[in-house]
Structure 1
Amino acid sequence: MEFGVFILAQQRGYHQSSRDVIKNSVEQTVMAEQAGFDNAWYAEHHFNNYSLSPSPLMMVAHCAGKTSRIRLGTAVCILPLYQPLRLLAEIGFADTVSDGRLDFGVGSGYQDFEFQRFGTKLEDAHGLFAEMFEVIKKGLTERMFSYDGKFLTIPPTSIAVRTVQQPLPPIWVTSGNPETLGKAVAEGDNLFVTALLNGLDGIKGLREKLEGIAAKQNRVIEDTKFGFLRCAFASDNKAEVDSYLDNARFQRRLSESLKFRRAQSEDGYLIKEEPSPTDLSFEQLRANLPVGEVNYVIDRMLEEISILKPNHIAIQTQLGDFDQKTMLRQMEVWGDRIIPAIRKELGDKTGTSRRDAA
């Protein structure tokens, strides 16, 4: 079982400067490596405080120089917002400077606010994503390639900086479109999925969905590597847990506000945090999520793993304005106690703490 941290780089208000948010993201990456996590993942969003990470590949390249072992991933590059040839060159560059530690996650995007400002239509996202996906694979695996599609036309071109990982870095696909996920399963790519803030019933439904997608490709989902994005926090301090849950709910409120185009802002940047029709109470969130004392979190994570059977779990470590020092200590708890215990229970030979092994 692999474990990662998902770094959204949110800004809940002007009491957080953009410099502080990015600095905290880098610090969490360094701590993740020290604590024994396998991966650090970086989001991509634009033009508002939902996320201050405009280029996950730039984060990969920067954090490559701050780390030596941990894999660094894009979660995700929003393909319809990119110029394909520049993206291909930057993939090769990021994998090169990280000495082959890049995990390349891709998605089609969902925030119309972003698409409008990049001159791209959200209704074209699915088709443009499909063509970009084909171009990326051709560009990374062929020395000279060309492409002629509905949205993209590329003359014979060669990408100068090639990836260290051959034939290409691991590709992770996230999407709400079953057709896109099915294509990834058929082509042997990895998936990134989430149950949002839902509980065990949501996880069971997610497993059934993945099994159905694989079956349509005449495959079984066990043959596909997939990661599970999850909010989880271990502490016997109720105030810390409540703060984490508050920030998790803040994240969902903003995400839904942008997705369903009801975002409001007084200054054109900070999105108003307003109650959502899908809001859950703290009591419901505690029932749904692996939050609480360490042993409870371990047991709950094992229960969720037994249902979903993922290969990778990415814990959301950067939400809203959650206290940075508290989160860095939390990551140490995961590295020292939670990850080793889960791996031991699963029979993973890496069940001992990597910090101890070092």
Structure 2
Amino acid sequence: MKFGIVFFPTVGPSDKSAEVYFDEALRLVDLAEELGFEHVKIVEHYFFSYGGYSPDPVTFLAAAAGRTRRVRLGTSATIPAFQHPVKLAGKLAMLDNISHGRLDAAFGRAFLPDEFKAFGIRMDESRDRFVEGVDAIKRLWTEEDVVFEGAFHRFGPVTLLPRPVQQPHPPVFVTTARSAESCAEAGRAGHHLQTVPNVMSTEELQSRLAVYRAEWAASGRSPGTEQIHFSYPCVVAEDGQEARRKGRVDDDRNSAAIRDAVASWGTTRSEAYPGYEKLVEATKTSHFESKMDQKKLLIGSPDQVRAQLEQISQWFGDDITISLGVHSGHLSYEDAAATMRLMAEQVLPKLNGGRG
């Protein structure tokens, strides 16, 4: 297993200013570099406390690039539907150059009705816009004199500058939350995979990974060369009860944030998002204890979290990468830093009998 950190702020001005949140987050980036974590990521969302402090991952990652030399920098994820592909391809290529080739480019479809409404984008178009956008960006990164004729964008001939440092292009990830077909499409296209185990059962996720890996191999790519990243909220303390107390506060706040963000699904339907109207009810019945029992949260003492990770490894394989959600903004910087230090110094060295 490899480990990094992911920032998914779930705070607003009444909780903590964006200025303070980003000061704290960038200090944690420094710590990730110091402690040897593999990557730093951040999300893209708008308007709500659910991710709304991060409307542009590239801005944050550019700041992180200037303070680090080793850690990889990941979007988690950018939304092609909300930007012109020439603009997004150029921004990401700039980041790859600023970071000397450390970009991991993850793309997602988005799923919040209010975001689509603000951008004037129909939700039923989201899958087609996603596929077209990623295709256009990859072509802009790898070809010259690109002429693109899509359903939503037409341009060319153009040659993008700057060219990415990584060749033929930065690693491309697809971020998917619930869709089995999205996992299959990612495997067929040769894209790496990011997902959130919290939104499905262990059996559902195992099934999706099996489909993804099968499609990856069937497309002629070598098995084992795919990258699979999972994100887990994480709170570690020397005292396991203290970690659970703080983790419960964090999870309750995170649940409240997503409950507000998905409320418009109560009156929204889209063929591109079957079953998403159930999110409203699902967020009302989200319980900390059941998440802990199902290993959907990494919370506890170092030994408890190590045992949780070893169970996750048995379920999904030891070749996955874990992104630790250490700072949603509700707990202190000191709590997040303690979690990272304990993970690096007491959990990972002992993982799988010392082979972590």
- What band does the TM-score fall into relative to the shorter chain? 0.7 to 0.9
Distance 1:275-1:92 versus aligned 2 partners, 3 A rule: closer
Alpha-carbon distance in structure 2 between the residues aligned to 1:3 and 1:136: 28
Structure 2, unaligned runs of 5 or more: 267-280
SS in structure 2 at match of 1:151: coil
Output aligned runs, 1:152-163, within 5 Å.
152-163=153-164
Partner of 1:287: 293
Is 2:351 aligned against 1:342? yes
Partner of 2:171: 170
Deviates more, 1:63-72 or 1:147-156: 147-156
CA contact (8 A) 2:229 2:321 kept: yes
CA contact (8 A) 2:58 2:91 kept: yes
Partner of 2:28: 28
Distance 1:252-1:197 versus aligned 2 partners, 3 A rule: farther
How big is the shift at 1:16?
Answer: 0.7
Partner of 1:249: 252
Distance 1:212-1:184 versus aligned 2 partners, 3 A rule: closer
Output aligned runs, 1:266-281, within 5 Å.
276-280=283-287
SS in structure 1 at match of 2:46: coil
Alpha-carbon distance in structure 2 between the residues aligned to 1:83 and 1:311: 32
Deviates more, 1:211-220 or 1:165-174: 211-220
Is 2:205 aligned against 1:206? yes
Distance 1:237-1:292 versus aligned 2 partners, 3 A rule: closer
CA contact (8 A) 2:105 2:172 kept: yes
Provide the aligned C-alpha RMSD in A: 2.5
Which residue identity is paired with 1:177? S
CA contact (8 A) 1:108 1:126 kept: yes
CA contact (8 A) 1:211 1:221 kept: no
Query: Per-residue CA shift, 1:230-276, capped at 9, x if unaligned?
Result: 1232221524422223222332343244235169xxxxxxxxxx993
Distance 1:334-1:112 versus aligned 2 partners, 3 A rule: same
Deviates more, 1:114-123 or 1:165-174: 114-123
Partner of 1:324: 333
Partner of 1:8: 8
SS in structure 1 at match of 2:148: strand
Alpha-carbon distance in structure 2 between the residues aligned to 1:283 and 1:311: 25
CA contact (8 A) 2:16 2:329 kept: no
Which residue identity is paired with 2:151? K
How big is the shift at 1:87?
Answer: 0.8
Matched positions, count = 335
Is 2:302 aligned against 1:299? no
Is 2:152 aligned against 1:151? yes
CA contact (8 A) 1:253 1:275 kept: no
Distance 1:130-1:300 versus aligned 2 partners, 3 A rule: same
Q: Among the aligned pairs, what percent are the same residue?
A: 23
Which residue identity is paired with 2:226? T
Structure 1, unaligned runs of 5 or more: 264-273, 352-358
Which residue identity is paired with 1:183? E
CA contact (8 A) 1:71 1:101 kept: yes
Output aligned runs, 1:163-242, within 5 Å.
163-175=164-176, 176-196=178-198, 202-215=201-214, 219=218, 222=224, 224-235=226-237, 236-242=239-245
Which residue identity is paired with 1:232? C
Which residue identity is paired with 2:284? P
Query: Per-residue CA shift, 1:278-325, capped at 9, x if unaligned?
Result: 221x43233233322211211120111111114211111122411111
Alpha-carbon distance in structure 2 between the residues aligned to 1:215 and 1:15: 45
TM-score (normalised: structure 1): 0.86
Query: Per-residue CA shift, 1:122-151, capped at 9, x if unaligned?
Result: 221111001001101101111221111111
Deviates more, 1:309-318 or 1:6-15: 6-15
Query: Per-residue CA shift, 1:86-145, capped at 9, x if unaligned?
Result: 111111100000011111111010011111111212221111001001101101111221
Partner of 1:135: 136
Which residue identity is paired with 1:315? L
CA contact (8 A) 2:184 2:215 kept: yes
Alpha-carbon distance in structure 1 between the residues aligned to 2:126 and 2:7: 24
TM-score (normalised: structure 2): 0.87
Which residue identity is paired with 1:205? E
Alpha-carbon distance in structure 2 between the residues aligned to 1:133 and 1:209: 21
Instruction: Determine which of 327, 342, 356 is the counterpart of 1:333.
Output: 342
Which residue identity is paired with 2:60? M
SS in structure 2 at match of 1:196: helix
Partner of 2:276: none
Which residue identity is paired with 1:278? T
Partner of 1:308: 316
CA contact (8 A) 2:7 2:42 kept: yes
